[in-house]
Amino acid sequence: MFGVLLAILRAVVGLISLTAGVLKLARRSDSAAGFRKLLGISVRTSKLLALSLAVIEVSIGSLLISGLLLSVVLPAAAIMFGVFGIVVVLLLTKGEAGRSCGCIGGKGRIGTALAAQDFGLMLFSLGLWLGRTHVAFAFVIVVGTLLFLLPAAGRLLSWRHTRGVRLQHATGSLPR
């Protein structure tokens, strides 16, 4: 039973990585433009970065889903997501919140939610790698899940609040 849970969780992390990589490949110019604006790098370097990250994400995602080379791929996934999280935090400290980050095919935005999700996926990957010890696995998976899901819940609540305010404005039940 525990092995099945590990396989499902590993596939979820793999699917997230694979999807991000495929979107970067499909929208390489959008991703490259985001990297170029955000990092102040040349057009050529930004295109190379977008392609390289896409290949890495697709490779890690595919290997996680297939279950191959897990002793190498799980720590690599943790490092990848950790580096992504650190870069997002560094960009936040430079006042870049809300700008396109080149992630998710150029649709991602720099913010605390993105940093939390990257660190959550890092912990998730570490938890899967440490999955042989149930206590470590449980702790890291719970913390990783909370970091990953809380920003999404916050966005949903924010969207519902914004939608409700717009509806109240439209019906005239809220002072303008």
Residue written as tokens 């998730």? Answer: 124
Could you tell me if residue 40 is left (phi over 0), alpha (psi between -120 and 50 degrees) or otherwise beta?
left
Lowest pLDDT segment from 15-24, 118-127, 138-147: 138-147
User: How high does pLDDT run on average in the chain?
Assistant: 76
| Whole-number Å distance between alpha carbons of 172 and 83 | 48
pLDDT the model gives residue 12: 85
pLDDT at residue 33 is higher than 90? no
Q: Which long-range contacts (CB under 8 A, 24 or more apart) does 155-160 make?
A: 155/113
Nearest of 55, 51, 45, 46 to residue 17 by alpha carbon: 55
Strand partners, 100: 109
pLDDT the model gives residue 161: 44
Domain assignments of the chain as residue spans, ordered by start? 2-149
The 3-class SS string of 38-83 reads HHCCCHHHHHHHHHHHHHHHHHHHHHHHHCCCHHHHHHHHHHHHHH
Nearest of 144, 90, 88, 105 to residue 121 by alpha carbon: 144
Residues 6+ apart with CB under 8 A from 63: 14, 69, 70, 73
